[in-house]
């Protein structure tokens, strides 16, 4: 009996972080839609960079910032995909199987964050460097051509790719908090695009909003008056947003029932319980048992 108990304990505790990340990686790359959406976001970001680079005519402007303008669209793709990685499991009911396999819920969210974060970081760097190389290739002769050999230019391009990955993690955290695709996507896009318009007249709030940080600090080579903080500090602010949302998502995942999404029980488990009760009633009637036994 003692040996059986020890064997069961080993089987129940064999799932660690490595197994959780492997499970999440299988789920991430096995869906073709995830790969295609991420690839489409990279291609669209590069294409927009080429368009803005070709239309850049000011020789005294910041061509590096212009050719990286495609992140305005890329961040939406990365963020929405981060949301769907979590909310799709709640809508399909797969979250029950995930938590049954790995009951340690913080470990599940950490594995999702590491797996998607690394994939988004790689895709973000491809998008940023591709956008820069394509955009500078089509710059007009009168416009200065920046090069990656310049430290400030290399910093701007690398930080832009890292920003896309951080927005993806922000979407992942929002998905874990809200658990509803439409509501989480609306919250993400509202925070990225609507909130900067609301506080556009408040210069003190600008350096602390992710989208404005990316457009005026991370991807910029020439300093902008309202953004006096170091780009590294600004990147740390965006990372703090992602960490806070992931922390809140972890708290929600641990505290709330996995069968509840935005405060409402999933319909599928309820219907499954009804079918189970019906089968029990039919079996009891066939055996001649009294009702309710």
Give 19-54 pLDDT, tens digit per residue.
Answer: 889 989 988 888 888 889 999 999 999 999 999 999
Burial of 47 (0-12, 13-18, 19+ CB in 10 A): middle
- For residues 208 and 191, is the Cβ–Cβ distance under 8 A? no
CA 164 to chain centre: 9
Q: Which residue has the tokens 């990286």?
A: 68
Q: Which residue has the higher pLDDT, 191 or 12?
A: 191
Q: What is the mean pLDDT of residues 170-186?
A: 93
| Model confidence at 266: pLDDT above 50 | no
Question: CA angle, 112 as apex, 169 and 24 as ends, to 5°?
Answer: 145
Residues with Cβ within 8 Å of 223's Cβ and at least 6 positions away in sequence, in order, are: none
Chain segment 76-134, per-residue pLDDT in tens = 999 999 999 999 888 888 888 888 888 889 999 999 999 999 999 999 999 999 999 99
Q: What is the mean pLDDT of residues 273-285?
A: 58
CA distance 10 to 19: 14
Q: What is the pLDDT of residue 290?
A: 58
Q: What is the pLDDT of residue 2?
A: 47
CA distance 234 to 218: 7
Question: CA angle, 82 as apex, 200 and 93 as ends, to 5°?
Answer: 130
Chain segment 60-71, per-residue pLDDT in tens = 888 999 999 999
Output the average pLDDT for the chain: 83
Burial of 204 (0-12, 13-18, 19+ CB in 10 A): exposed
CA distance 251 to 105: 9
pTM summary value: 0.82
Chain segment 186-233, per-residue pLDDT in tens = 999 998 888 887 776 666 777 788 988 888 888 888 878 778 888 999
Residue whose C-alpha is closest to residue 157's, from 56, 69, 89, 228: 69
Tokens representing 196 are: 């900067």
């Amino acid at each position: 009996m003692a040996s059986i108990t020890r064997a069961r304990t080993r089987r129940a505790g064999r799932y660690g972080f490595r197994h959780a990340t492997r499970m999440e990686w299988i789920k991430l790359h096995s869906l073709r839609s995830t790969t295609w959406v991420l690839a489409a976001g990279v291609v669209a970001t590069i294409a927009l960079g080429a368009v803005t680079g070709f239309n850049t005519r000011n020789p005294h402007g910041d061509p590096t910032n212009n050719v990286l303008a495609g992140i305005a669209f890329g961040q939406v793709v990365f963020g929405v995909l981060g949301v769907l990685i979590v909310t799709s499991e709640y809508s399909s009911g797969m979250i029950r199987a995930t938590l049954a396999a790995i009951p340690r819920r913080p470990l599940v969210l950490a594995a999702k964050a590491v797996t998607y974060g690394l994939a988004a970081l790689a895709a973000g760097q491809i998008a940023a460097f591709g956008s820069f190389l394509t955009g500078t290739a089509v710059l007009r002769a009168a416009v200065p051509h920046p090069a990656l050999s310049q430290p400030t230019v290399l910093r701007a391009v690398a930080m832009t790719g890292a920003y896309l990955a951080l927005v993806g993690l922000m979407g992942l955290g929002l998905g874990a908090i809200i658990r509803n695709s439409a509501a989480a996507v609306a919250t993400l896009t509202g925070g990225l695009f609507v909130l900067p318009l609301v506080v556009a007249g408040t210069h003190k709030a600008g350096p602390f909003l992710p989208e404005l940080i990316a457009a005026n600090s991370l991807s910029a080579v020439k300093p902008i008056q309202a953004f006096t903080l170091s780009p590294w500090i600004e990147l740390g602010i965006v990372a703090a947003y992602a960490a806070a949302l992931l922390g809140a998502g972890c708290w929600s995942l641990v505290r709330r029932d996995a069968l509840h999404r935005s405060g409402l029980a999933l319909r599928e488990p309820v219907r499954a319980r009804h079918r189970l009760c019906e089968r029990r009633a039919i079996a009891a009637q066939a055996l001649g048992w009294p009702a309710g036994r």
